Amino acid sequence: MKDYMLFSLKLVNLLLMFSICFTSCKKDKDKLKGEWLIPKSEVLDGGPGKDGIPALTNPAFIAASDATYLQDNDLVVGFISGNDVRAYPHAILDWHEIINDDVNGVSIAVTYCPLTGTGIGWDRNVNGTVTTFGVSGLLYNTNLIPYDRATDSNWSQMKLLCVNGTLIRTKVQVIPVVETTWKTWKAMYAQTKVVSKQTGYSRNYDRYPYGDYKTNNDNLFFPLNPKDKRLPSKERVHGVIINDIAKVYQYYHFTDSMQLINDSFQNTDLVIAGSQPDNFIVSFVRRLSNDTLLTFTPIQNKLPVIMQDNEGTEWDIFGNAISGPRAGEQLSATVSFMGYWLAWGAFYPNAEIY
């Protein structure tokens, strides 16, 4: 019986993959009307259609102690505004891809593409108008194309840019989030709330919907252009974008409980902080607005505090000064996020690898 159930599950996954690949070949000209900043020929129909994958808006949250559907190693995207701490699990985002939320006065859209492994916080206030984002059903370089419901414009998640419609050429304002495991997040922020499984939709949030996609480097649903083979396609890396050029950092540089890299990229002084055991990498600008250049050393076993600067100030995982002479200040966040290498190589050709 066990073998039969396993065979059935694999068959369902194969049929899902076939369905997606088959329908992606279809081109709906109406969906591609107007000017696009990305090649129309490479904008593909993902299969489910517009809003076929339903984004969530202001979902219900539960306490961490009630989130029995999450395992310690499950990934979450974490966000904090004031005293409001929230976690958006991949287990929910795999099925909905976008969560529009309001957190202590911040209108955020947590956008997540399961096929590129990219979770990014977007500001929903666009040119003074607060909007919500939905899933267009279109993909570019196997990456999510959200649309905004105020103007129906299409946006590229990884290019952080409106690529079609009324708002074309408008840039995304990124809101810093932290991607890590549920275990690490709730250990840092026991008061966190987390998205409930009661979303109003009938989905099996206990099951990953894409088979072995996230672990099989040879399993791709859609074509990439270009396809960069310098790293395994599904390796999760932290990418920093400056002047539309990217540099990525791999987990193997962060083998101890907490390690730092003081680096320079595109004439910008950076500190990259990460921990492989705790499963996170974050990055900040080291040079302050008054031109002071800080140097950092890691702090062990004190999460969410991760490092101390040469002046004696301690900083947390969001770049907030927790104690010391600069308490209350905040480091400038980089434009950065976690994602599969396959997507970094396609969206930012010749991306530098640290």
| Residue type at position 30 | D
Measured CA to CA, the distance from residue 206 to residue 90 in angstroms comes to 11
Q: Which pTM value belongs to this model?
A: 0.91
Contact by Cβ (8 Å): 94, 208: yes
Tokens describing residue 48: 């489910």
pLDDT at 256: 76
CA–CA gap between residue 176 and residue 157 (Å, rounded) = 15
Q: Are 199 and 96 in contact (CB under 8 A)?
A: yes
| Cβ contact 46:31 at 8 Å | no
CA distances to 193, 306, 319, 320 from 190, rounded to whole Å, are: 9, 17, 19, 18
Element (H, E) at 107: strand 106-113
Confidence at residue 248, expressed as pLDDT on a 0 to 100 scale: 98
User: DSSP for 216-266?
Assistant: -TT--SS--SS---SS-TT-EEEEEEETTEEEEE-GGG--SSSEEEEEEET
Phi, psi of 346 (to 5 degrees): -85, -40
Q: What is the CA radius of gyration of the chain?
A: 20
CA-to-CA dists, residue 39 to 13, 50, 222, 319, 333, angstroms = 30, 20, 15, 37, 31
Read off the DSSP letter of residue 49: -
Please list, in sequence order, all residues whose beta carbon lies within 8 angstroms of the beta carbon of residue 8, skipping any fewer than 6 positions away.
none
Q: What is the pLDDT along the chain (354 residues), one digit of tens a residue?
A: 444 444 344 444 444 444 444 444 444 556 788 999 999 999 999 999 999 999 999 999 999 999 999 999 999 999 999 999 999 999 999 999 999 999 999 999 999 999 999 999 999 999 999 999 999 999 999 999 999 999 999 999 999 999 999 999 999 999 999 999 999 999 999 999 999 999 999 999 999 999 999 999 999 999 999 999 999 999 999 999 999 999 999 999 998 789 999 999 999 999 999 999 999 999 999 999 999 999 999 999 999 999 999 999 999 999 999 999 999 999 999 999 999 999 999 999 999 999
Distance between CA atoms of 68 and 90, rounded to whole angstroms? 15
pLDDT score recorded for residue 28: 53
Handedness of CA 27, 30, 31, 35 (dihedral sign): positive
